[in-house]
């Protein structure tokens, strides 16, 4: 049987891998736009960014709800804000020149990194304390 501590560590590892994958996918989109790759490839990469972040956010939100994380609603609003922006920027990225598209992609990447390093860190620390009690 898996104890609470092991369960938390498995969850934290999964979240960390998700975060790395999402940032790596954003980097692929930046690279694809800079090298003027096939627009279908860029569209595919952008679709992965949105799909992966939605899956990641859903997993986090489920875990936060289960642990009654007090910052859940604010954290969920941040997720919704990113998802709204990512969908809105998707078409713009595809239609923009490389410079504008890179600026948008860099903005999305910075948003994600900041969110992962601050908001996710805060909630995972809370979860760690809750799980290990």
Q: What CATH number has the domain bearing residue 116?
A: 1.20.120.50
Q: What is the CA radius of gyration of the chain?
A: 16
Are 111 and 53 within 8 A, CB to CB?
no
pLDDT(28) > 70: yes
Using a cut of 0.85, tell me whether the model's pTM lies above it. Answer: no
> What b-and-e string marks burial along 38-56, b requiring 16 or more CB atoms within 10 Å of the CB?
eeeebbebbebbeebbeeb
Number of domains in the chain: 1
pLDDT digits (tens, 9 = 90+) for 6-21: 555 555 666 778 888 8
Its domain, for residue 112, covers: 4-62+71-131
Please report which helix (H) or strand (E) contains residue 29, including its range.
helix 4-34
């Amino acid at each position: 049987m898996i104890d609470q501590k092991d369960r938390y560590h498995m969850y934290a590892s999964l979240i960390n891998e998700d975060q790395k994958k999402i940032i790596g996918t954003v980097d692929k989109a930046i690279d694809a736009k800079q090298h003027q790759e096939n627009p279908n490839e860029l569209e595919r990469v952008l679709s992965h960014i949105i799909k992966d972040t939605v899956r990641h956010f859903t997993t986090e939100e489920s875990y936060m709800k289960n642990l009654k994380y007090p910052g859940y609603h604010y954290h969920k609003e941040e997720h919704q804000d990113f998802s709204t922006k990512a969908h809105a920027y998707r078409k713009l990225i595809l239609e923009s020149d490389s410079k504008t598209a890179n600026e948008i992609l860099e903005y999305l990447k910075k948003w994600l990194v900041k969110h992962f390093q601050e908001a996710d860190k805060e909630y995972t620390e809370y979860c760690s304390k809750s799980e290990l009690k």
